[in-house]
Structure 1
Amino acid sequence: MGWQAERDKVVINVGGVRHETYRSTLQTLPGTRLAGLAEPGAAARFDYDPSAGEFFFDRHPAVFAYVLNYYRTGKLHCPADVCGPLFEEELAFWGIDETDVEACCWMNYRQHRDAEEALDSFESPEGPGPPEPAEPKRLCLEEGRPAGWWRRWRPKLWALFEDPYSSRMARYVAFASLFFILISITTFCLETHEAFNRVINKTETVPTANGTGATQVAVEVETEPFLTYVEGTCVVWFTFEFLMRVSFCPDKRDFVKSSLNIIDFVAILPFYLEVGLRGLSSKAAKDVLGFLRVVRFVRILRIFKLTRHFVGLRVLGHTLRASTNEFLLLVIFLALGVLIFATMIYYAERIGADPDDVTGSRHTYFKNIPIGFWWAVVTMTTLGYGDMYPMTWSGMLVGALCALAGVLTIAMPVPVIVNNFGMYYSLAMAKQKLPKKKNKHIPRPPQPGSPGYGPPGVGTPNPAT
């Protein structure tokens, strides 16, 4: 019996670490690489050492312990000290499906790869790559015709306005763009100050029914001209930058779909419309001009252009997108709390009220439930403006419960959002500070004849499906 057990044992050497198991254990997952070791003729198909009586694989030994434990217990766990992509590569080599990972380890297994997929834009700049190979010469082209300047200069000019880290000149362009953004935002704020606005009385002739004209004085507020000139200078720079980027972008479709590019266009357009309609005297032109002055607030959207120059702002955008479920959960919790406490405060304020005051207008602010929505939102978010407050002991009790519930409601999803931001920011900073590698070593996948694959001219078992 003992001789039979020894014969059923298999010794596997992975990265210098010996593991022993039974052939029956390896056969629990048919179709995988390890299951092939239990089949007849395995010594000829894999790297087998007859003197040591063991199979050798040049793979990660620590990860293999978890893989072998999966054959023994039927549960695949992910080591906490191993990066998710590394564990994924090992699973692919051994022919194990990644969906077999247990639920307790799934987040640890996926979080690094998900973060890297979302942070592709934070890769450390490698500078301009090697020139692309020229297109095959067509029959209609001359033999000695040199490559066009467009193919040579378009990537350089695109990087000049898009990637501040691509060159020293690109940094100067980024600093100039940042300067004009700050000047434009400052001008936008100063235009609303009364010290920079002048009240002008304009006399207009309005036609009457009898054919004569009546004189009418209109009062208008006009901004100081020098602020308009400063804003015009900024818009000229933004226009030049936008035209250069749209002209030299590698993909026009992706450029148009980008939210930042849409913001650039929307922030520039009202200025030119306002300048073009200012000289017209028709009523329709004045109405449109008045509307454009109202929608000047779109200029503040230029603040989002800073995301091109600051990694932290881009990380914040990724964090908000990655935390959509947490934000949705927070909104649902707040909506439920607002509805519950607005209803409770409405009825609580009527306990002990004057019977003659049927509507409750003389002793409480909460005349109906919709009014209580505002009070519940302010209380649950711990703002407490003080414009509405309960006046009865029962209403004060409801108010105290509402404040406590608001603190707990907001505190639950916030740590998840903070953790997402910390993870994204640390990965982004690591990629930004990663030293450049001109000749990066990329190992080839296992090929027939390699030590981790098997002897020359021998195939490999099919991976599990």
Structure 2
Amino acid sequence: MEKLCNMDRTNNLRINVGGTIFVCHSHIFKSFPESFLANLEKQEPNYKNDEYFFDRNPHIFAYILDGFRKGSIHLPKDVCGTTFKAEMEYWEVSKEHVAPCCWEALYKSDEDILTMQKLINDCEKNSSFLMMQQKDQSIRNRLWLFLDEPRSSKYAMAWAAFVSVLIVVSTLTEAMTSVPIFHVNYTESEQKIIKKASEFLNWDESSYEKMMTMKPQPYLKLADIVCHSIITLEFIITLVVCHNKMTYVFDFSRICLIIGYFSFWLKLILQLEEISLKSDIAIKMITVFAYLTVLKLARLFYLAKHIPAFYVIRLTMSSSKTELKILMAILAILICVFGTLIYYAEYPNSKISNVFIGMYWALITVTTVGYGDYTPQSVAGHVIAGACASCGVLILALPIGVIASSFYTFYNCNKYGTKHYDHIKVRHN
């Protein structure tokens, strides 16, 4: 039997798609000879009463049929690319016939699906998310959700807000201890300890005298201890009720947090034990623990954990590895080139005495920071500096724009996915 694409040019065909009648010449199917329509025969089961019937989407078929006429397919803006591809697969029309101007509309839905799949996979790995979907929960699970997942209940949200306030207050308290107005002088016994610590750290006389006046006010120290007591207790209870303790503990931020809190409490215990402070070993331990307490700043990740924007940023950075590699490569090339040029342009009458200092200057200039500690003096140096700053603005902005677009996609998918989940949750409840 003769195929439709080989029929006479004047032969008209009636194609009923979803109740909509399309009339066309059979010769137009020669445009895509591998397609389903080009290889139709009249013995097809869909052929009846001088027309073919297909229970498909007539709106999309109109664009596909128009593609047969023009030789290339153009996608409508109001149709999902995934749906359009499904129709093309049914009609056996290859994607190579899609016009270049419509490639984005055709493939963008694939990126959206991958984005949503990443969000779904991330949620499935979250034990708290899975527990929230369970109706019958043990006391341990309820306590875990209360401490780890603010969205599990109003009380959990209130507790998370309370802990967040404690973290902010504790951080501000520690910051206030560095302001001179909140300082008092050390006692004579404490001054001896500071003296031994200065000898251990090889401080000069000015640093030692400055440390002698940096004792924080007692009420600031008390407030810091109260905040740390509650936060540490919350961390211990969370660790006890956690189902997968290895995964929970061996997280980078939590490792830093454990070291920071451990150092804070050990330093406090040693400071309260006046007898132990007479030994050099105790002084050295207090000094080391004092520096390790800086790792307590990892608790700020607790705030980031419950803010959707930070969660989206993490996913964006994870999915933008290629763009970040491009950014680092461009940055390295610019630093090497302009760092070397500025060294030879300024040598020897400049503070830029070697290429590495020139690279440092190039890094600060390319990123448009400009500390001003190293500045060009010659005309050639000024020209190089201008070119370096211009390249930083123009070139570095390109991958950053792609990353920003990825963030926008993740943010929207997360926002609409959360609404969809909340809607399902309300229906099931």
- TM-score of the superposition, structure 2-length normalised? 0.72
Query: Aligned in 2, Cα 1:333/1:273: closer, same or farther, shift over 3 Å?
Result: same
Cα-to-partner distance string for 1:91-141 (whole Å, 9 max, x where unaligned): 787789999999944751322112212333689x99943536xxxxxxxxx
Counterpart residue number, 1:414:
400
Counterpart residue number, 2:315:
318
Counterpart residue number, 2:48:
50
Cα-to-partner distance string for 1:377-398 (whole Å, 9 max, x where unaligned): 2222223322222222222222
- The answer to whether the aligner puts 1:300 opposite 2:297 as a matched pair is yes
Alignment counterpart, residue 232 of structure 2, candidates 235, 239, 242: 239
Cα-to-partner distance string for 1:192-220 (whole Å, 9 max, x where unaligned): 2233354344358x9xxxxxxxxxx9986
Counterpart residue number, 2:112:
112
Whichever structure has more helix as a proportion of its residues is 2
Alignment counterpart, residue 423 of structure 2, candidates 421, 427, 436: 436
Cα-to-partner distance string for 1:234-259 (whole Å, 9 max, x where unaligned): 22322333234334445445434555
Cα-to-partner distance string for 1:160-202 (whole Å, 9 max, x where unaligned): 2233232221221121121111112112212222333543443
Counterpart residue number, 2:221:
228
Counterpart residue number, 1:424:
410
- Equivalent-residue separation in structure 2 for 1:240 and 1:96 (angstroms): 64
- The answer to whether the aligner puts 1:131 opposite 2:135 as a matched pair is yes
Shift of 1:78: 6.5
Cα-to-partner distance string for 1:338-377 (whole Å, 9 max, x where unaligned): 2112222222235xxxxxxxxx2xx322322222112222
Residues 190 and 196 of structure 1 are in contact (CA less than 8 Å); yes or no, is this contact kept in structure 2?
A: no
Residues 70 and 76 of structure 1 are in contact (CA less than 8 Å); yes or no, is this contact kept in structure 2?
A: yes
Within-5 A mapping of 1:253-272:
254-256=247-249, 258-259=251-252, 261-262=254-255, 264-272=257-265
- The answer to whether the aligner puts 1:28 opposite 2:6 as a matched pair is no
Alignment counterpart, residue 274 of structure 1, candidates 235, 257, 267: 267
Q: How many pairs does the alignment contain?
A: 391
Shift of 1:293: 0.6
- Equivalent-residue separation in structure 2 for 1:39 and 1:52 (angstroms): 12
Counterpart residue number, 2:7:
5
- The answer to whether the aligner puts 1:186 opposite 2:172 as a matched pair is yes
- The answer to whether the aligner puts 1:348 opposite 2:348 as a matched pair is no
Residues 339 and 361 of structure 2 are in contact (CA less than 8 Å); yes or no, is this contact kept in structure 1?
A: yes
CA RMSD of aligned residues (A): 4.5
* SS at structure 2 position matched to 1:109: helix
The code of the aligned residue for 2:315 comes to H
- TM-score of the superposition, structure 1-length normalised? 0.67
- The answer to whether the aligner puts 1:329 opposite 2:316 as a matched pair is no
The code of the aligned residue for 1:404 comes to S
- Equivalent-residue separation in structure 2 for 1:226 and 1:94 (angstroms): 77
The code of the aligned residue for 1:234 comes to C
* SS at structure 1 position matched to 2:264: helix
Shift of 1:315: 2.0
Query: Aligned in 2, Cα 1:276/1:199: closer, same or farther, shift over 3 Å?
Result: closer
- Equivalent-residue separation in structure 1 for 2:66 and 2:338 (angstroms): 53
Query: Aligned in 2, Cα 1:38/1:185: closer, same or farther, shift over 3 Å?
Result: same
- Asked which structure has the greater RCO (Cα within 8 Å, sep 6+), the reply is 1
Q: What 5-or-longer segments of structure 1 have no aligned partner?
A: 133-150, 207-216, 351-359, 442-465
Query: Aligned in 2, Cα 1:408/1:234: closer, same or farther, shift over 3 Å?
Result: same
Identity %, equivalent residues = 26
Query: Aligned in 2, Cα 1:68/1:348: closer, same or farther, shift over 3 Å?
Result: same
Cα-to-partner distance string for 1:34-54 (whole Å, 9 max, x where unaligned): 5998589752xxxx4734743
Counterpart residue number, 2:362:
376
Q: Which moved more, 1:102-111 or 1:300-309?
A: 102-111
* SS at structure 2 position matched to 1:54: strand
